[in-house]
Amino acid sequence: MNKIELIETIAIQADISKAAAGRALDAAIDSIKRALKTGDTVSLIGFGTFYVGERAARTGRNPRTGKTLQINAAKSPKFRAGKGLKDACN
């Protein structure tokens, strides 16, 4: 399912227009992004939790040349599925 199909499904299930469903989905995604950017977690009971994970700086290796290089520390968004989502998949 892509974003357009998701918007269509939301519009049908919520009995709203596709434009309103698109704005609602965009608002939800933007809210999650803003919360993660400030370091907060977003917990949706029964669905899962969005959070920011941190990777430490490390030494890597260029596979083409074999030369070692320093990889900087980084933050990345992560998602942990909740019980309801796990149960729905099984």
Task: Specify the CATH number for the domain of residue 8.
Answer: 4.10.520.10
Say what the pLDDT of residue 6 is.
96
Say what the pLDDT of residue 65 is.
93
DSSP of 29-42: HHHHHHHHHTT--E
Say what the pLDDT of residue 73 is.
95
Give the chain's domain count.
1
Say what the pLDDT of residue 85 is.
95
* Helix residue ranges per DSSP H, 1-90: 3-14, 18-37, 83-89
Say what the pLDDT of residue 34 is.
97
Say what the pLDDT of residue 18 is.
96
Which amino acid appears at position 78 of this protein?
K
Q: Residue 37 sits in which domain range?
A: 3-89
pTM summary value:
0.80
CA distances from 86 to 34, 40, 41, 53, 90 (A): 26, 23, 19, 21, 7
Q: What string of pLDDT tens digits covers the 90 residues of the chain?
A: 999 999 999 999 999 999 999 999 999 999 999 999 999 999 999 999 999 999 999 999 999 999 999 999 999 999 999 999 999 998
Say what the pLDDT of residue 59 is.
95
Considering only CA atoms, which of 29, 52, 31 is closest in space to residue 40?
52
